[in-house]
Structure 1
Amino acid sequence: MADLRETPDRVEEPWGQRTPYGPGERWPVRVDVHLADGLAESDVDRWVQSASILHSNGDAMDIAVKDGRIAGVRGRAVDRVNRGRLDPKDLYGWQANNSPDRLTRPLVRRGGRLVETDWDTAMGAVVARSRELLDGPGGWGRFGFYTSGQLFLEEYYTLAVIGKAGLGTPHMDGNTRLCTATSAAALKASFGTDGQPGSYTDVDHCDAVALWGHNVAATQSVLWTRMLDRRRGPNPPAMLAVDPRTTPVAREADVHLAPRGGTNLALMNGLLHLIIHNGWYDERWVAAHTVGFDELARVVDGYPPRRVARICDLEAADLERAAELLGRSERLLSTVLQGFYQSNQATAAACQVNNLHLLRRMLGRPGAGLYQMNGQPTAQNTRETGADGDLPGMRNWDNPAHVRELAALWNVDEMTIPHWSPPTHAMQIWRYAEQGSVKLLWVSATNPAVSLPDLARVRRILAKDDLFVVVQDLFRTETAELADVVLPAATWGEKTGTFTNADRTVHLSEKAVDPPGEARADLDIFLDYARRMDLRDRDGRPLIRWRDAEGAFEAWKECSAGRPCDYTGLTYDKLRGGSGVQWPCTPDAPEGTERLYTDGVFHTDPDYCETYGQDLATGAEHTAEQYRARQPAGRAFLHAADYRPSPEVPDEEYPLLLTTGRSLYQFHTRTKTGRAPELNAAAPEPWAEIHPEDAGPAGIADGDLVEVASRRGAVRVRAVVGGIRRGTVFIPFHYGYFDVDPAKRVPAGPTS
């Protein structure tokens, strides 16, 4: 088949033209292009290599530059991830870079108002407050850093070194905690360390695909395009979708399960019950390569189809159909996202998907793959580098040898590096700020005044007089409006760095244009802070010894050496011109590593693992002694857990369950996508999906303005009747408050 080129209206045709292919064949190339009005490819001054910053798929692209401005994008046909295809957000989102709303100068709060200033004044204010806190009572405990999944690897690593080796604070995390922290937790729990076992090329080989709470058609639409192309080719894979909504994925699937919200663990226990009961597992391999089968079998034995059907409000026959699809496949691919992660007993449910693949020996070979998917483009880097609170290089905070490695690498005292307790998770950082122990909160590349739960509380915290808030972003977001200092940042296309997608593919994004006004790369802001704070190692040398992105990358490589995320075989030159490369990439594996655990040996050795684990019911940390007693010896863990109802369930006062999710055309709080005309027009405001049997008795018709209220707040939106299971209401989470008049009231219960 000849390579295709498309310049489509991707709002109307979000997944573009089909390029069918069969099992074991290479996905055909299709190059997607979108340029500014009136501009032809031949008119472009130059093309600059990059990848997507608006989702976790890692779509590789070239940025079109015309007259010193970004003027469009073109998919990179050579790349292993997308083979030239681009998501609607990729095609149109670049326009936000050119928005007149961009921050171009620092802002400081004076007399209750944010006013423009120069960099010396802004950074001087941040450093003065930092030194005051560091020298005062509480010291390092006064600092909190809340970041995102949108910066570059080099920036995260620099931030991690500043926080952990310079200031010594454990209070570092990001919005990834509320997005895909479950991914990391489940991978660590089952396999010993973070890191996706599978490869996107597993789509090319599988004979069954299971999507667990993952509306991939909206969140990683190029990956969905790959799945659709396999489904339209010869010998297509069967498909299972688990989602309370009738999404495009659910409509495509051969089996669609729409369980009651908060019951995912019961569902998974029921499916594993059938897998074991029917003998659809590799008994000999499980005995040799896993720990915990007997306990798992005991627990899931209590979840026969009829009981699970009652808990989940499903038909027992549908459960059996789903189990047969899973149990009889020869090459099963699973992908998991927010529907499991942002729900009751999230880590336990995600671990059961891992259990399914371990029982069926569906790891480490083409088509037998697993993605505990990320939501954000650089969430994987947040976790690898330690900017989310973990120790860099996927090291174990509770392993003294791992702490000593970092202390030697950074040449600091071991006791400077926070390791006396688990890292502080995001919501606890906000609690500390609320209570007054965290006095400086630095927010970079995220908008918690819109994205966090219980927004009224979050905004009260940000507005506290005794909390010094630093916001580093592209625009005057809702969060920036509450800051004491706002630092204008450069973004994708305006700086150089690397980032890693959900199947461990590392891409290089080159600087294409200068940022507007006085905006600076996030890396330069962090380097400036470290210099002004005069952070030094134990020999009096500067703690941060690199000055640019490539220098930071080389420093990171040294930190990653010998760890699961080993980058030592990568260089900027290696990443230029061709495809992205999957880690681990080492001198022994110079082309990267497509799949993990091909030999059935997992990262569970006590001296190597990233965690000693937690109790799935209570969250209590296991000790090193408890972990060693299980004698994993390179075997994976099969974790068992009983289903427990959510802390809040619908009742007479609030009879419906509210669930949130994503739109194909928007990203996070719309900071970028809301400024792209095509994307904003495609999804300009939120909506509430309501089942007809819930809408009818309330007198709600399609398009009516309704108020959706919980015990914690309310929002007024237009109703969309249909497309969701009875008893559940769906609202996309991207939008802030909408100031419209109330009409009809639809009480909804807790968020799933």
Structure 2
Amino acid sequence: MASTRDSITDIWGPRTPQAGPHWPARVDQNLLEDPDRWVQACCFLCSNGCGLDIGVKDDTPGGRIVGVRGCETDVVNRGRLGPKGMHSWVVNADPGRLTRPLIRRGAQLEPAGWDEAMGLIVRRIQQAKRLHTAGSIAFYSSGQLYAEENYTLSVIGKAGVGTLHMDGNTRLCTATAGAALKETFGADGQPGTYEDVDVTDCFLLVGHDMAATATVLWARVLDRRRAAEPSRMVVIDPRRTATAAEADIHIQPRLGTNVAVLNGLIQQLIERGHVDRAFVEAHTLGYDDLARTVAGYTPERVAGIARIPADQLRQAADLIGSSRMLLTTCLQGVYQSNQGTAAAVQVNNVNLVLGRIGRPGCGILQMNGQPTAQNNRESGTGGDLPGFRNFGNPRHLEEVARLWNVEPASLPNWGPPTHALQIFRYAETGSIRVLWIVGTNPAVSIPDLGRLRAILRRQGLFVIVQDAFMTETAKMADVVLPAAIWGEKTGCSTNVNRVVHLNRKAVEPPGEARSDLDIFLDFARRMDFRDKDGAPLIKWHDAEGAFNAWRECTRGRPCDYSGLSYAQLSQGSGVPWPVNERHPQGSTRYYTDLKFATDPDYCESFGHDLITGAAVTAQEYKARRPNGRAFLRPVEYVPPREEPDEEYPYFLSTGRVVYHFHTRTKTGRAPALRDAAPDAYIQVSEADARRLGIKPGDMLCVTSRRGAAQAPARVGDIEPGTLFMPFHYGYWDDPGRARAANELTLFDWDPVSKQPHFKYAAVKLAKVEGELLAQPDESKQAAVPPAAGGNEAGAGRTHIADYIGLLQASEERLAHGWEKLCASHPLAPDIGAQGALFLGWSRDNAAAIQAYAGKYGERLEGEPEALDQALLIQRRATAFGLLRDLQDLWLMANESTVSAAVLAQGARALGDHDLQRALQDIEARNERQRAWLLTRIRQAAPQTLAVPPADA
């Protein structure tokens, strides 16, 4: 095989230090034989998205791929390729490809035609929507889809099916990147660029093993470090990786302590005088709060929390602070760990307090895991509105409705989008009846795999899997659709650097496999989705048509593609957005004008409480008057939910190896990559290995509260008390033992980004002395009954009748409470008139909601009677008695308000507009009652509490 280098042993290639204004080119190539033609594309197996050409031989029907070469003129890689890019193309011809649809008949998946498979899918989705509403249908997709496919699926899911249950596997790897950018800058989109690597004098890498996860970008960093005036580097990572070994300062914190360490770093930057006060005052909000919060995170305190030398923080702050520039990156060591979004926001804060953003060498790269993760977030298949629009902004929803020519009320906006773990939880409890999984393998990648397998086997859950191989997830599907992959279809991908690449179709997919776009278009046609004028909802028929529709959707938004075309993307390089009239050639660097996307009518999110995840309201956000300034968001350190104890004395972290991607669906089938890393391993410190008598290669067993896994030992380069396992390895290649790292991890998430916590779990460790643990059973022969909590009373019926009954009973009790107040305090000058007014309102509310009890049925659950004993208490007509009666009424009004709010969401989901209007009136009256009560309580409290009555 003709190759310019052995990328397995020479991972990053020879050094090419920069001597001029641009990173020098170096073209990497790996060919089986000379091709007949070259086809433009980019690599799909890390967030870099390196431009390349696919070599094609036309000596077989449809052609065959015979190799790849890097694209010399591409801005991302200047011709370089990493090991995965050099070798993964061979899997297109793998004999294990799925070539026909499969339908489950009893215990077996059997071949079927496309009409039969799609007909079954359409019938099951139509049935689920008719019987259980669109809330019974969910889509879980992949960052491997092109932008055109992501956008088409977003329109189908939101405007066609009408479900909020839509997420992608990017939730597992880079949801926190998008969340942190929204919290700080108002919208997703990286305020840094790869070109900053070439000129910066300082790197800060936090929880990011770039040498393994983005090999070509790491080659660029190494070249910068080998220049005549090399940059300096700080790495924060618990393991001594190849990345950490390159650093000038390597900080190795205890798992889960990132927020404490970053607070300590910011505290030192402030104390040691490195803050750019002019920048902070002109371009940020919240500095004083940040300074107050971090003041308590002295080096000594942080050393105690994170178990690092206190002087390391001082040294790191001086190294960073004394530089002129700073390029900061972070990845899963931040995103998948404790307080992920909070920690990623503190990374943003480091650059902002130093004023190092928007100019060459100064930026932040909140890294992604794959080159289309950005498309997943941009298009809305990650749950958000497309084009980085704000779910909380009615004008943004109206924009989307106009683009799709549908009524705004028909779009699912009755609550926040449903994220991956919640989708699977709904499937576990039985409220999701159809789950369509596209291009991903949750039976290896989702935490707590034993629980996940039980969910996929659950009675009543119809699982559709759309993939190229028989993955662990596909084995448990009811319908399997064979999909084309990279090289077999046309579409665009956008990397973490905002660079858009066009991937041209090079060869035909095998057998009857179809592109994901063609599958979605076929589904939309069979479902007969229509816009409000009766025309087809999906108005395009090919990839370029989908791109043009997507381009229009982004017009005027942060991710503006409106000036971009397939023709422009065919000129030898990817192009970074925004691309529009102002930036016709794209935008190398973002936020150069230091005007951030925080305007209330433009921003993608109003933000959240970084500890609880509670949403900031539009009113609260507008009151801050951001005016294009970035937010400095402080947060206190909170320990991880699960920590080592006597029974489980070790901390386990999971992560990647350089030769594999995700669950090895493709890289595990490339011989060079498979042979380089054939199996999982358990990394243990030298101290722990000596104490337990462990030698390299010994078979070890790691056990958590959720499950167990076994793998050979690897000794060294990790802190004592900490273990590490790569998460790539599952069971499709029959290892004969339990070895998936996610048998062990927590079914838990970050409160803001909803990204699962893969980076910490309390475990115990032992050498394997006897038989190996059995490989888990992935069959769907015996369906699993509902999990605990999934067979509650009333299962099989909706609960809207229960809440109608609860609201009616609450309003009746509130009316009784107003009667009691008037009778108990007749001498208070305002109680009689106001009480009579509110009594009438509560009776009107009860009567208004009574009309819907006949429509939806009687209440079977709930216990409003419990309020009687607690709140309807007879008290004396004293000042104290009045204050307590007012407080009881306020609590009762809150009970009604919450019930009305819950019902309003249900009415929106059901499309019952009459009920929505009735509830709006009830909520308005209740809100006025609550406002009066709270005002009256505050008026009565000082005199009642501070001045004793005459008879005291």
Matched-pair contact (CA < 8 Å) for 1:7–1:34: yes
1:650-703 deviation line (CA, Å, top 9, x unaligned): 111111100001000000000000000000000000001100111111111111
Kindly state the Cα deviation for residue 577 of structure 1 after the two structures are TM-superposed. Answer: 3.0
Pick the structure with more helix per residue. Answer: 2
Matched-pair contact (CA < 8 Å) for 1:107–1:485: yes
Kindly state the Cα deviation for residue 594 of structure 1 after the two structures are TM-superposed. Answer: 1.2
1:648 is the counterpart of 2:642: yes
Kindly state the Cα deviation for residue 288 of structure 1 after the two structures are TM-superposed. Answer: 1.3
1:716 is the counterpart of 2:710: yes
Kindly state the Cα deviation for residue 525 of structure 1 after the two structures are TM-superposed. Answer: 0.2
1:284-305 deviation line (CA, Å, top 9, x unaligned): 1101111111110000001000
What is aligned with 1:32?
28
What is aligned with 1:332?
326
Residue type of the alignment partner of 1:199? T
Residue type of the alignment partner of 2:231? P
The alpha-carbon distance between structure 1 residues 741 and 400, as it changes in their structure 2 partners (threshold 3 A), is closer
Matched-pair contact (CA < 8 Å) for 2:142–2:168: yes
Within 5 Å, give how 1:514-533 maps onto structure 2.
514-533=508-527
Which of 582, 593, 608 is residue 588 of structure 1 equivalent to?
A: 582
Which of 6, 9, 12 is residue 9 of structure 2 equivalent to?
A: 12
Which of 307, 310, 314 is residue 316 of structure 1 equivalent to?
A: 310
The alpha-carbon distance between structure 1 residues 749 and 156, as it changes in their structure 2 partners (threshold 3 A), is closer
1:594-627 deviation line (CA, Å, top 9, x unaligned): 1111111110000000011110010011110111
1:397 is the counterpart of 2:391: yes
TM-score w.r.t. length of structure 1: 0.97
Residue type of the alignment partner of 2:119? G
What is aligned with 1:109?
104
Higher mean C-alpha displacement, 478-487 vs 320-329: 320-329
1:376-432 deviation line (CA, Å, top 9, x unaligned): 121000000001100000000010000001111111111121222111111111111
Kindly state the Cα deviation for residue 749 of structure 1 after the two structures are TM-superposed. Answer: 9.1
Following the alignment from structure 1 to structure 2, what is the Cα–Cα distance between the partners of residues 98 and 321? 52
Kindly state the Cα deviation for residue 25 of structure 1 after the two structures are TM-superposed. Answer: 2.9
1:230 is the counterpart of 2:227: no
What is aligned with 1:52?
43
1:247-266 deviation line (CA, Å, top 9, x unaligned): 11111110001100000000
What is aligned with 1:500?
494
Q: SS state of the match for residue 697, structure 1?
A: helix
Within 5 Å, give how 1:198-597 maps onto structure 2.
198-597=192-591
Q: SS state of the match for residue 55, structure 2?
A: strand
Following the alignment from structure 1 to structure 2, what is the Cα–Cα distance between the partners of residues 742 and 414? 49
The share of aligned pairs that are identical, in percent, is: 58
Kindly state the Cα deviation for residue 465 of structure 1 after the two structures are TM-superposed. Answer: 2.2
Kindly state the Cα deviation for residue 281 of structure 1 after the two structures are TM-superposed. Answer: 1.2
Kindly state the Cα deviation for residue 158 of structure 1 after the two structures are TM-superposed. Answer: 0.2
5+ residue gaps, structure 1: none
Superposition CA RMSD, Å: 1.4
Kindly state the Cα deviation for residue 6 of structure 1 after the two structures are TM-superposed. Answer: 6.5
Q: SS state of the match for residue 30, structure 1?
A: coil
Kindly state the Cα deviation for residue 232 of structure 1 after the two structures are TM-superposed. Answer: 1.2
Following the alignment from structure 2 to structure 1, what is the Cα–Cα distance between the partners of residues 705 and 691? 22
Pick the structure with more strand per residue. Answer: 1
Matched-pair contact (CA < 8 Å) for 1:649–1:749: no
The alpha-carbon distance between structure 1 residues 440 and 749, as it changes in their structure 2 partners (threshold 3 A), is closer
Residue type of the alignment partner of 1:275? L
1:89 is the counterpart of 2:84: yes
Following the alignment from structure 2 to structure 1, what is the Cα–Cα distance between the partners of residues 585 and 615? 37
Q: SS state of the match for residue 302, structure 1?
A: coil
What is aligned with 1:697?
691
What is aligned with 2:125?
130
Following the alignment from structure 1 to structure 2, what is the Cα–Cα distance between the partners of residues 486 and 580? 34
Matched-pair contact (CA < 8 Å) for 2:208–2:237: yes
Following the alignment from structure 2 to structure 1, what is the Cα–Cα distance between the partners of residues 745 and 549? 48
Residue type of the alignment partner of 1:269? N
Q: SS state of the match for residue 626, structure 1?
A: helix
What is aligned with 2:657?
663
Residue type of the alignment partner of 1:124? G
1:321-372 deviation line (CA, Å, top 9, x unaligned): 1111111111100111000000000000000110111111111111001100
What is aligned with 1:73?
68
Matched-pair contact (CA < 8 Å) for 2:467–2:481: yes
Kindly state the Cα deviation for residue 741 of structure 1 after the two structures are TM-superposed. Answer: 7.0
Following the alignment from structure 1 to structure 2, what is the Cα–Cα distance between the partners of residues 591 and 366? 18
Kindly state the Cα deviation for residue 740 of structure 1 after the two structures are TM-superposed. Answer: 5.4
1:123-181 deviation line (CA, Å, top 9, x unaligned): 00000101111222x31101100011111000000000001111111100011111110
Following the alignment from structure 2 to structure 1, what is the Cα–Cα distance between the partners of residues 640 and 368? 24
Matched-pair contact (CA < 8 Å) for 1:148–1:444: yes
What is aligned with 2:805?
none
Between 1 and 2, higher relative CO (CA 8 Å, sep ≥ 6) is seen in: 1
Matched-pair contact (CA < 8 Å) for 1:654–1:748: no
Q: SS state of the match for residue 224, structure 1?
A: helix
Following the alignment from structure 1 to structure 2, what is the Cα–Cα distance between the partners of residues 142 and 748? 29
1:169-227 deviation line (CA, Å, top 9, x unaligned): 11000111111100000000000000001110000110001111000111110000000
Within 5 Å, give how 1:102-181 maps onto structure 2.
102-136=97-131, 138-181=132-175
Aligned length: 738
The alpha-carbon distance between structure 1 residues 563 and 741, as it changes in their structure 2 partners (threshold 3 A), is closer
Matched-pair contact (CA < 8 Å) for 1:707–1:742: no
Following the alignment from structure 1 to structure 2, what is the Cα–Cα distance between the partners of residues 621 and 677? 48
1:6-31 deviation line (CA, Å, top 9, x unaligned): 61111110001111125x63111100
Residue type of the alignment partner of 2:122? V
What is aligned with 2:946?
none
What is aligned with 1:100?
95
Following the alignment from structure 2 to structure 1, what is the Cα–Cα distance between the partners of residues 328 and 411? 37
Instruction: List structure 1 segments (4+ residues) > 4 angstroms apart after TM superposition.
Output: 737-743, 747-751
Higher mean C-alpha displacement, 637-646 vs 409-418: 409-418
Which of 652, 658, 666 is residue 672 of structure 1 equivalent to?
A: 666
Following the alignment from structure 1 to structure 2, what is the Cα–Cα distance between the partners of residues 545 and 655? 58
Kindly state the Cα deviation for residue 739 of structure 1 after the two structures are TM-superposed. Answer: 5.2
5+ residue gaps, structure 2: 747-758, 761-952
The alpha-carbon distance between structure 1 residues 343 and 418, as it changes in their structure 2 partners (threshold 3 A), is same
Matched-pair contact (CA < 8 Å) for 1:496–1:511: yes
Whichever of the two has the greater Rg, that structure is: 2
What is aligned with 1:604?
598
Residue type of the alignment partner of 1:264? N
